[in-house]
Amino acid sequence: MADSFIPTKDKTAVTIRQYDGSDIEGYLFVPVHDRLVDVMNDERQFLPFESEQGEFIVLAKASIVSISAGKTSGSGLRLRAKPEI
């Protein structure tokens, strides 16, 4: 019997503003039971990031000014998910 695959991280759509003023859109990988803020406050200095074009980048947390979480559209626009009540 084959083991079933259980993902340990969610691919979270984000827009990241960097210190040089540029924005990049793509995906951060957040552990299933954590929040994005938990990832930003953990001890790691670098984060795995995947661009919308599929390019893998290791980002230094020190280069990040802000992060907006939400679904990216592929056109540079951010679409916010409706809040769950």
pLDDT tens-digit series, residues 14-47: 999 999 999 999 999 998 888 999 999 999 999 9
Please report the pLDDT score of residue 3 as a whole number: 61
Please report the pLDDT score of residue 51 as a whole number: 93
Using the structure block, give the residue that is written with the tokens 């795995």. Answer: 48
Across all residues in the chain, what is the average pLDDT?
81
How many of the other CB atoms lie within 10 Å of CB of 39?
18
Contact 12, 30 (CB under 8 A): yes
Q: Distance between CA 31 and CA 40 in Å, rounded?
A: 12
Which pTM was predicted?
Answer: 0.70
Q: Could you give the domains of the chain? A: 9-70 (2.30.30.100)
Q: Distance between CA 26 and CA 28 in Å, rounded?
A: 7
Asked if residue 1 has pLDDT above 90, the reply is no
Contact 15, 70 (CB under 8 A): yes
